[in-house]
Amino acid sequence: MKLNSKKITIIGGGPGGLTLARLLQLKGAHVKVYERDFDKHARVQGSPLDLHKDSGLAALRAANLLEEFKKAYRPGADKLTIANHDGEVLFSDHETEIKDDFESEYFRPEIDRGPLRMLLLDSLQPETVVWDSHFISMEKQNKGWLLHFKNGLSDYADIVIAADGANSKIRPYITDVKAFYSGITMIEVSVPNAAKGSPNIYKITNGGKIMAFGNGKCVLTGLKGNGDLGFYLSLKTDENWAQTNNIDCNDKVQLLEWFKKTYPEWDNSWYELFENIATPFIPRPIYCMPLDQNWESLPNLTMLGDAAHVMPPFAGEGVNMAMLDALELSECLTSDKYSTLQEAITQYETNMRKRASVIAQESLENGERMHSENALTDMLNMFSSFE
């Protein structure tokens, strides 16, 4: 195997990076993951996600973790309610019987990000993850890289893989191609103990998700396994809105006043979402990599997930693409088909860019659809056709 005696460093301990570490360790590779979080409990995990048969679930199968996933996923959390801006429920699939069939491409089981991360962490060899290690720079040394971290640590790696997300600090060592703004900004908000903090909307959610549309804007909610409700206010606005809106992200009253002004047509039943939110709330401008991005592959450096192909979240493929990247990269790096590591990385990156471009295009189109004046009608027609 071309990885024999090679030290592999993965920067970033999200689903993509951890999946890759697991897959490479199964093949006997020497892997370290450097993660900036202080420890595995440090970060508040975001909204639930669903895994797909030929991407996220395929990676878990290859990692021998599907049975563990079956113990951790949340049956019914994928159920959807669609409402209008007046809070009227116009579609629900909660009564639709969907068999938990992991061989079906239509079955997309949901799991919270925290349990997925713990599942992957628990599968790794002891001390694989080096916590509290915020990458700051690296330089070439011998045939590899000398990496430096904010905590003062430095380490050598023969191969470096960037799994450090949309604002990757590794990516500039590979390419100067930058993401463009999609025209959409989302504000991420959480309601702790939603049964008490937002009881009426909690009831409509019914253990699953709500998508509400009206006047070119939308509200997207998802109930977490711990009973918290995560929701996003999503709208088309200027790229610099987060810096220029003058809203204190620790002030829920200011956020509600902004909502009333910006979503004036929306019924006051939605105000309940803002009464007991956790602060700070987080504005997130949504970016996308150019669909035709390209670069010349390197022999000892590559990337996966959002570092490689950040895209809007409106196709539900972000984590799935990262985990599929991990699967395909691990297969290329450990295959005897390629005579050199650079050839293996080139094959992986060529396939990855092509695949990600298709999904990014779909995500951009869905984003436009979800923020159009006809969004409610379009989304009702789309989901009704699935029944």
The conformation of residue 300, written as its DSSP 8-state character, comes to: S
Annotation-wise, does 155 bind a ligand? no
**24, 334 Cβ separation under 8 angstroms:** yes
Residue type, 326: A
Closest CA to 225 of 255, 205, 244: 205
C-alpha torsion sign, points 111, 115, 119, 120 = positive
Residue 152: how many other CB atoms lie within 10 Å = 6
Tell me the sheet residues that pair with 233. 187, 219
Please give the order of strands across the beta sheet that includes 129-130.
Answer: 129-130, 30-34, 7-11, 159-162, 301-303
How far, in Å, CA of 155 to CA of 141, rounded? 11
What is the DSSP annotation of 28-50?
Answer: T-EEEEE--SSSTTSSPP-S-EE
How far, in Å, CA of 379 to CA of 362, rounded? 15
Six-digit token pair at 65?
């973790």
The conformation of residue 313, written as its DSSP 8-state character, comes to: S
**117, 104 Cβ separation under 8 angstroms:** no
Residues 6+ apart with CB under 8 A from 48: 74, 77, 110, 111, 112, 113, 222, 223, 224, 225, 230
Residue 362 CA to chain centroid, in angstroms? Answer: 16
Annotation-wise, does 113 bind a ligand? yes
How far, in Å, CA of 173 to CA of 118, rounded? 30
Annotation-wise, does 43 bind a ligand? yes
Annotation-wise, does 353 bind a ligand? no
Binding residues for NADPH: 43
Binding residues for FAD: 50, 113, 306
Binding residues: 43, 50, 113, 306
